[in-house]
Structures are given as structure tokens and as C-alpha cells.
Amino acid sequence: MTHPALQLFAVVGLPVIRPGDDLAGLLTASIAPLHPQVGDVLVVTSKIVAKAEGRFVNLREVTPSARAIELATLTHKDPRLVEVILRESSEVSRAAPNVLVTRHRLGFVSANAAIDHSNVSPDPDVVLLMPADPDASARCIRDRLREAFGFLIPVVICDSHGRPHRLGTVGVAVGVAGMPGVEDWRGRADLFGYRLQHTEIGLADMVASAATLVMGQAAEGVPAALVRGLRFTPREGSAAEIIRPAQLDLYH
């Protein structure tokens, strides 16, 4: 059986996103020249979703709590930033000089509650939070794309995260709509007929990481990508299903 090649297309032409912008409409117009096909997946950075949702915080307007001041002293971080990190987190996982790792209120574990400072604003005191509900944001974009093109285009909202015991950040899915977050391969046969017993594929994370190769991490100005040729069993999914339950957290 012939397997189609996987293709990644940078989505270009998007303006600098501002609070209140019709992001779904802008994405629709920007991917139209790529002639979307059934089976395509749109990957969008969490940053432009958060910008459209107005998730900016001016640190000059933040009063740090005693706990934030205590952690700021330990981590050598701005106590105002630490306060915002605590507000976005359910618990602190690790605090050390120049390190503050927390469990985000959305469930994932990341440095600084995934609060962003790069490519956010010329004002150094302005930071950007994650979208309030990335799965819901992904569903809204998916629904608008279906209205525009007449068929389902799954949406993955991605962010850059580090990983335990490995250097370097990779793209991960923080919002998913129209495709599995995790695909269960248990019961499938391998090359020698052995039935897989424990294999679950982090499909949405794989898609997010692949798309990051064309979107970049710094000032490339490519905040979305279209993935073509991906094969999976269709179902409605979410990024929430990717989160390992806290009681199974091996690194806590």
C-alpha cells in the first residue's frame, strides 16, 4: 500500500494579532491560497490565540503576595511575574535559582506556567498568558473553518515546552479539536504479528512538534501551519486527554 508523503505548509500573510481580532476569519483567508483538502490539519500557536483573546498582563499593575516574594527571592525572578505564575498555577513543582516549574491550572507541567515574554510587546513589563481554554478556542476555529470550506479541518493549538531529562523545547498540543489528542494503538499488529499491548500515540503532540519546524521559535513571523497527508482514525479529541493524571506523574 502506498503511503502519502507528509507535507507542512507555512501559513503566511497574517497580520500582527491584536485583542479582539477575528482570528478564525484571518486564518481562513490565510489558508485559502493553500487550497485546503479533506484530511488537512491546521496548527496555530497559542500566542496568537492568546493575543486575540486579550490575555495580556501588565506587571506594573500586579502586587506580589508574600508567597510570590518568597519564591522570587529563591528563584531570582521578578516577584510580580512570580505572582502571575502562581495565579495561573495549581501547584509549584520545582523552585530553584532561575527555575520555577508549576502545574498549570489547565493540568500540564511547565516552566513559568507557560507565560510568554518573547514577541509579545515592546513594553518589557507586558507578558502574555495562555489562552483561557485552548480546547474551546480550537473548537471555535474548527467550526469557522468548516463553515468556510464545507468540510472538517481539525485544529491543534501548540505551545513550546521543555521535557524532563532532555534539553531543548519542542512543540506540544495545548488545544485540540476534530482529531485525537492521543491515539490508542493497543491491539494493532506489528510487522511480525505481535499485538501491541501498551502503545498509545501522542498524535496531537507529534503534529504540533512537526509544525513547529516550519513555524519556528523566535521572530520568523509564521504563527500557523497546515499539515497535509496525516493519517489517523477520526474522532473528536482534546488536549485535556493528553494530560497525565497527577497520581501517575513519575517526575513530581
DSSP one-letter string for the chain: -PPPPPEEEE--------TT--HHHHHHHHHGGG---TT-EEEEEHHHHHHHTT-EEEGGG----HHHHHHHHHHT--HHHHHHHHHTEEEEEEEETTEEEEEETTS-EEEGGG-B-TTS-SSTTEEEPPPS-HHHHHHHHHHHHHHHHSS---EEEEEEEEETTEEEEEEEEEEEESS-SSEE-TT-B-TTSPBPSS-EE-HHHHHHHHHHHHH-SSS----EEEEES---------SGGGSPPGGG-TT-
User: Which residue type does 87 have?
Assistant: R
Cβ partners under 8 Å of residue 184, min gap 6: 200, 201
For 7-55+130-244, the fitting CATH number among 3.40.30.10, 2.60.40.10, 1.10.620.20, 3.30.1330.100 is 3.30.1330.100
What would the CATH number be for the domain defined by 57-127?
3.90.1660.10
Q: Once rounded to an integer, what is the mean pLDDT over residues 141-167? A: 92
pLDDT confidence of 183, banded at 50, 70, 90?
confident
Q: Once rounded to an integer, what is the mean pLDDT over residues 175-197? A: 68
Q: How far apart are the C-alpha atoms of 176 and 174, rounded to whole Å?
A: 7
Q: Once rounded to an integer, what is the mean pLDDT over residues 23-52? A: 96
Out of 18-32, 52-66, 206-220, pick the least confident.
206-220
Q: What is the mean pLDDT of the chain?
A: 88
Question: What was the pLDDT predicted at 5?
Answer: 84
Question: What was the pLDDT predicted at 219?
Answer: 45
Grid cell locating 125: 513589563
Question: What was the pLDDT predicted at 252?
Answer: 54
Return the domain boundaries, the chain: 7-55+130-244, 57-127
Other CB atoms within a 10 A radius of the CB of residue 116 amount to 19
Q: Once rounded to an integer, what is the mean pLDDT over residues 131-148? A: 97
Question: What was the pLDDT predicted at 182?
Answer: 87
pLDDT at residue 218 tops 80 = no
| Phi (first) and psi of residue 72, to 5 degrees | -65, -40
The side-by-side arrangement of strands in the sheet containing 109-111 is 89-96, 99-104, 109-111
Q: How far apart are the C-alpha atoms of 60 and 170, rounded to whole Å?
A: 31
What pTM value is reported for the model?
A: 0.89
Q: Once rounded to an integer, what is the mean pLDDT over residues 234-249? A: 79
Q: Are the CB atoms for 228 and 7 separated by under 8 Å? A: yes
Taking alpha carbons only, the member of 22, 224, 26, 241 closest to residue 135 is: 241
Taking alpha carbons only, the member of 101, 57, 54, 99 closest to residue 81 is: 57
pLDDT confidence of 162, banded at 50, 70, 90?
confident
